[in-house]
Amino acid sequence: MSDQAIERLAAYAPLGDAASGLRYLLLDVFSSKPLEGNQLAVVLDGRGLEDARMQALARELNLSETVFLLPADGDESDVRARIFTPAAELPFAGHPVLGTAAVVSRALALPAVTLETGAGPVPVEVQERGARVSFGWMRQPLPRPSAFDQEAALLGALGLEASALPVTAYENGPRHIYVAVQDEAAVAALRPDFGALARLGEGIGVNCFAGAGSSFKSRMFAPALGVPEDPATGSAAGPLALHLARHGRIAYGQEIEIRQGAEIGRPSLLHARVRGSDEELEAVEVGGAAVLVAAGAFVLD
């Protein structure tokens, strides 16, 4: 095909000026490289959209999460962020908060952003690291640990005989379950029964991990939320650091790196640390990069 034909195709605009539609940005989060990390759509103005419309738009994009920005209800936050998977709304999720904070920070020229979420206000410190790359640290809601009463069914769905640490649930908006696998090769080799995982209950993310020192590998499965496997799970990174600290695998205050997403072609890098002690948890912080990769608009009406 000639260059002239390609140039004509590049200028093809059958829908007219899409900028007049419902505008959104696409980012890759927990990566500084485009086309890696976890994809995120941020709809810049969600005013006037009903809940069902937001859910339909998130399903149309079919990313792990889509965020809709709205005015904050009080003075404590800069904007309100509503977070949707293709199947449901979440009160909080990590990579949507981090990516959204990168957008708001640049748009409003703020070095620190507080997002109003369904789990409360989440502050994020943001640094620009290039024309389209930012790095942020978010202070997450403190996770609440609890026992998980379906351990046998969970291990069966994962094809595992046992977990190297107690199977524990942590809730910080989403509910994450943690299973310690023998080694990183065994994590990579997992082939879960997604139907069986989905039957464990709605809103559950299953996190399988292995590693040592400050370096860990993780995979997260949430088929009941419409996300068979997540490339990078910021909401799970903080509780993972807490789980490791509670069981003596790392020290409180120690920063860890979590690698995720390689098995689905979206390598991601997350940073996490927890401050405090077994008696009193002070803070859970998760960091990572976000890069802007595209802009678009819905032209539905």
* Residues labelled catalytic: 65
> Facing residues of 210 across strands?
217
State the DSSP string of 6-54. HHHHHT--TT--GGGSEEEEEEEES-SSTT-SEEEEEES--TT--HHHH
Q: How far apart are CA 180 and CA 243, in angstroms?
A: 10
CA 224 to chain centroid, in Å, comes to: 16
Grouping H, G, I as helix, E, B as strand and the rest as coil, residue 56 is helix
* Distance from C-alpha of 50 to C-alpha of 56, rounded to nearest angstrom: 10
Residue 119: enclosing H or E segment and its boundaries? none
The residues with which 287 forms a beta bridge, in sequence order, are 137, 271
User: Are the C-beta atoms of residues 159 and 191 closer than 8 Å to each other?
Assistant: yes
Sequence-distant (6+) residues with CB within 8 A of 22 are 43, 45, 57, 297, 298, 299, 300
Instruction: Compute the distance between CA of residue 299 and CA of residue 78 in angstroms, rounded to an integer.
Output: 28
Best CA proximity match to 219, nearest among 255, 248, 180, 275: 180
DSSP code for 200: T
Helices 234-246 and 94-108, packing angle to 10 deg: 120
